[in-house]
Amino acid sequence: MFGWKVFALLGLVSVSVSGCAALLEKPLIEPPDEIAKLSNADLSPAAPMGVRPVSNPTLNTGSIAAKYAGDNRTTRAVEARTPGISQNASGYELNFSDTDLSELVKVVLKDTLGITYVFDSHIEGRVSISTGGPVTRAELISILESILATNHAALLIENGVYRVVPEADARQQGISAFDYVRESREVGAGYGVSIFALRYVSTEAMMRMLDGLMVKQEDLRASVFNNMLFIRGPGQSRQSIVEIVSMFDVDWMKGQSAGIFKLDNASPDDVIRELKQVFQTDRQGRGLVKFQTIGRLNAVLVLAPRSQTVDKVGEWISRLDHSGADDDNYYVYRVENGRAKDLARLLMAAFTGGGAAGGSGRGAEEKEVAPTLAASRTSSGSSFGSSSSGTGSNSNSGPLSGSTTGSTSLGGGDASGSSNGSPLKGAPTLASAEEEPADEGPQSSAATSSDQVRVTPDERNNKLLIKASERNYKKILQILHRVDQPPLQVLINATLAEVTLNKNLQYGVQFFLQKNHGKSGGIGFSTSDALAIAPVMPGLNLIAGNIGSDPRVILDALAKETAVRIVSSPSVVVLHNQQAILEVGDQVPIITREAQSVINPDSPTVNEIEFKNTGVILNVTPRINSNGLVTMEVQQEVSAVQNTSGQSDAATSLTPTISQRRVTSTIAVQSGQMVVLGGLIREEVSRSKSSIPVINKIPYLGDVLGGETDNGRTRTELVVFIRPIVIRNPEDASNAAEALRAGMASLAPRPTAWDARIESREDPRVVGGGSIK
């Protein structure tokens, strides 16, 4: 309630003052009569007028009268002040009209501020200035600098002495260093050059920001070498520049949260472009988060005021870090069960319909071999003799040597010696892992490519390097998961027996077994066409029907009639669609080429020798279907050196005659069923020659006293028992191993009728004058 009264009173006072001012401005009061005052003056002593109250004279204004009340306070005399400038508690007020510039400088610097100064006499000019209110000391100096600048002059400060010089001279003087971190108070008055050491912003960027703020562009200079900024001008101008620079040259990373996110699939530029759309950095989210590409690390740098924002950006980066469905990427697939080269060939056939080549792999003989590991290979000794290293030459000089390489023997019987056999001529072969060179040179450079798909096999590490889009790689991965499966294995138990044919078996083992078919206690066989026995050449091809898995049943039946000898009884595990090679025999050296110098007739003859595998050779390639049916490609060969001249050194000749018996069959049997192969009969004639020394060289007389004796003929037949067992899992492998250990006892010689017959009877078979054991 009291407040509104105060405001009302103030309003009335203001109205009254306005009215008084209006009245005083009107010239209605006539001037007083000065002559009357002097004639009526009181000349008696009185107190001074300055200390006694002033009476209000009554003015004769005619019909107009006015009364003006004072404030009842004594008015003091006004103190003397500096001409043109006044000072009060609030500051300084300037009021100059057409004053000489030197006089203005003197009043401001010397009379008012008490500053010693030097004024250049070349400076001329006149100034009119009036401030509408009080100004501070610093503002007074700035006003003076502005007045000097309009008159092409400048104020310099050197060692506390102020100098007013022409502007042209000031440009070459007054350089001062400045650190704006200590506020703008360091920028003093006067014309000069200030040096700013920028910390966070480059001079080029600062020059662009200050462009247009300077009245004269030549007053702003930058030093790129040490990142310094030079500003020339009056103190007020430099102070303004300091304030602007301090606003821009700040550590914008201070208080910022940062994160570096590496990308595994996507490109940083693509991810940043998508992140800007997510966080609306061009609209509502401007300044919320900043992104920067780090190409060297394939990463994204994220800057944000809050760590929560960085975490949120990291979540979005993990969501966006996926390669496009059509973008090519590199993938590495580790082959678990097959071979990388075979899988690469298969993938090329699936995507391009062609075949693959390359690498230092095997030749075209592997075209029908499934992608699995290397084939198994076994070899054992036999009674055909032992391998040896030989040297062949037609003279005593320049020998050529040949040698054989031994291998681990597998099998039974009374065999001795070892040999490194080779597959049959013309048969598809597959080198074992041991025969591959240790260093195959550079890895296969050939690859499978189809538009955007490229598959390169790494044979050394058995891996596939795949370049494909994500869509195509998913298709490739589905194929690999179905193809790269553990291969099936087959345990092949083989027994090779040599049967001597006598009168009861003069037609061979096949006729003997068929003759006893159906008799009480006889042997049961099945020769149905449904069992897919397809002999290429005539021979014994039977499948045992009710005799189980032990070949001793047939061997016992044959031993009652003739002599039976076990040549070998190997067992080998081979992978599906791989080749197992069983060899029992010798390597025979054969001359393939002779060479002799045509210039020197006395030069030695050089022979080129190769070794021919002889003996019993069995190749088996099994293929397994889903029902357990095993289809076997069987190649069986029996070969030996033939003595055509009747001489005892036929086996050591470098041009021997080799007798060969071979049979090829394709058989399909169930797992665990035994197959009997035979029909390979060999007939040998043994002759001996007797003579009397010296007399045998006499014509006709030597023939009469000596002669040849025919020791008889020996016919033998080789019978092969093959029993495949499919191994699908580790349990089947364990059962097969246990059955093999149990079956070893059944293969051991026992005192039976046919064993006693062999021991009690001398073997009449003679080859080249010697007996075979």
What CATH number has the domain bearing residue 243? 3.55.50.30
- Same-domain status, 217 and 274: no
Q: How far apart are CA 479 and CA 485, in angstroms?
A: 11
Q: What is the pLDDT of residue 457?
A: 93
Q: How many CB atoms lie within 10 A of CB 527?
A: 13
- Computed over every residue of the chain, the mean pLDDT equals 68
Residue 757, pLDDT score: 52
pLDDT level of residue 440 (50, 70, 90 thresholds): very low
Residue 588 pLDDT > 80, yes or no? yes
pLDDT tier, 400 (very low <50, low <70, confident <90, very high otherwise): very low
- Model pTM? 0.43
Q: Which is more confidently placed, 39 or 139?
A: 139
Q: Which of 275, 265, 270 is nearest to 321 (CA)?
A: 265
What is the per-residue pLDDT for 110? 84
Using pLDDT thresholds of 50, 70 and 90, give the confidence band for residue 364.
Answer: very low
Question: What own/partner pairs with CB < 8 Å and gap ≥ 24 does 400-409 have?
Answer: 400/606, 400/607, 400/608, 400/609, 402/589, 402/609, 402/610, 402/611, 404/587, 404/611, 407/377, 407/378, 407/379, 408/378, 408/379, 409/379, 409/380, 409/381
Within a domain: 552: no
Inter-helix orientation angle 340-351/470-483, to 10°: 120
The CA angle 720-725-726, to the nearest 5 degrees, is: 140
Looking at the predicted structure, is the pLDDT value of residue 531 above 50?
no
Question: Which carries the bigger pLDDT value, residue 618 or residue 214?
Answer: 618
Nearest to 424 by CA among 546, 576, 585: 585
Own/partner pairs, 77-86, CB within 8 angstroms, 24+ separation:
77/50, 82/107, 82/111, 82/112, 83/107, 85/111, 85/112
Is there a single domain that holds both residue 187 and residue 331? Answer: no
Q: Which of 279, 302, 321 is the last residue of a domain?
A: 321
Q: Where does a domain end: 223, 248, 273?
A: 248
pLDDT of residue 389: 36
Give the count of domains, the chain: 3
**Is 279 within a domain?**
yes
- For residues 571 and 378, is the Cβ–Cβ distance under 8 A? no
Asked if the model's pLDDT at residue 633 lies above 80, the reply is: yes
Q: How do 707-727 and 117-119 pair as beta strands? A: unpaired
Distance CA 681, CA 659 (A): 12
pLDDT at 549: 60
Element (H, E) at 719: strand 707-727
Asked, for residue 150, whether it belongs to a domain, the answer is yes
Residue 659 lies in a domain: no
Structural domain span for residue 296: 257-321
Are residues 459 and 343 both part of a single domain?
yes
Pick 595 or 193 by higher pLDDT.
595
Mean pLDDT of 128-156: 80
List b or e across 561-582, with b for residues whose CB sees 16 or more CB atoms inside 10 angstroms: bbbbbbbbbbbbbbbbbbbbbb
Residues 270 and 332 in one domain: no
- In degrees and rounded to multiples of 5, residue 36 shows phi and psi of -65, -40
- The verdict on residue 728 lying in a domain is no
pLDDT of res. 741: 75
Structure tokens at 689: 């020659």
Buried b (16+ CB within 10 A) or exposed e, 52-61: eeeeeeeeee
For residue 172, being part of any structural domain is answered with yes
Please tell me whether residues 152 and 236 are part of one structural domain: yes
Residues 711-728: tens digit of each pLDDT = 777 888 888 888 888 888
The pLDDT value recorded for residue 1 is 45
Question: Could you tell me if 121 and 177 lie in one domain?
Answer: yes
Shared domain check, 335 and 300 = no
Q: Cα dist. 258→263, 292, 333 in Å?
A: 16, 11, 36
Residue 689's pLDDT band, with cuts at 50, 70 and 90, is: confident
Q: Could you tell me which residue, 509 or 273, shows the higher pLDDT? A: 273
Looking at residue 684, its amino acid is E
Q: Are residues 144 and 176 in the same domain?
A: yes
Query: Does any domain span residue 101?
Result: yes
Laid out side by side, the sheet with 117-119 consists of 117-119, 161-166, 153-158
Assigned domain for 761 exists: no
| 208 shares a domain with 145 | yes
Pair 112, 161 in one domain: yes
Q: What's residue 61's pLDDT?
A: 43
Segment 294-339, tens digit of pLDDT = 888 889 999 888 888 899 999 999 888 887 666 778 889 999 988 8
Q: Which residues, in sequence order, are bridge partners of residue 631? A: 623, 668
Rounded CA-CA distance 457/461 in Å is: 9
- Which of 269, 304, 321 corresponds to the end of one domain? 321
Residue 345 has pLDDT above 80, yes or no: yes
Specify the CATH number for the domain of residue 314.
3.30.1370.120
CA 388 – CA 406 distance, rounded (Å) = 10
Instruction: Mark whether 226 and 175 lie in a shared domain.
Output: yes
> From the centroid of its chain, how far is CA 453?
17
Both 195 and 232 in one domain: the answer is yes
